Amino acid sequence: MRQASATWRAGIPRIGILNGTSQRELFAWAAQEGLRTAYRKLPIAELREADRLYMTHGGWVIPVDDLDGRTLDYDPAEIAAMNDAIHTGRTHDDALAIGPTGDYEY
């Protein structure tokens, strides 16, 4: 996941990146917060330029705090809010409707 310019991006499943339940729940949280989301190819150069990166795994949002030796910022309160929304079920119904469709932006 990449956060940049108020658009949250996830890699496209076509190249082997799973758009799993946790990722869809994070996108649901972002939408509920008024943020845009998109599935698209994420070249490593874009990941290196990201202001924040998150992983999702097993129902949890996990901040990436270092990429190639560069420290990345994250807000512990924001991470807690994301995980709270997922674990209280607030994002569940919205997440069911989220997923990549058709052609993806490259």
The pLDDT tens digits of the residues spanning 28-80 come to: 998 898 888 887 777 888 888 888 888 888 889 999 999 999 999 899 999 99
CATH tag, 2-95:
3.20.10.10
Element (H, E) at 61: strand 60-64
Q: Contact at 8 Å (CB) between 40 and 103?
A: no
Q: Contact at 8 Å (CB) between 74 and 63?
A: yes
Q: What is the band of 82 on the pLDDT scale with cuts at 50, 70, 90?
A: very high
Q: What is the band of 96 on the pLDDT scale with cuts at 50, 70, 90?
A: confident
Tell whether the model's pLDDT for residue 89 goes beyond 70: yes
Q: Contact at 8 Å (CB) between 60 and 16?
A: no
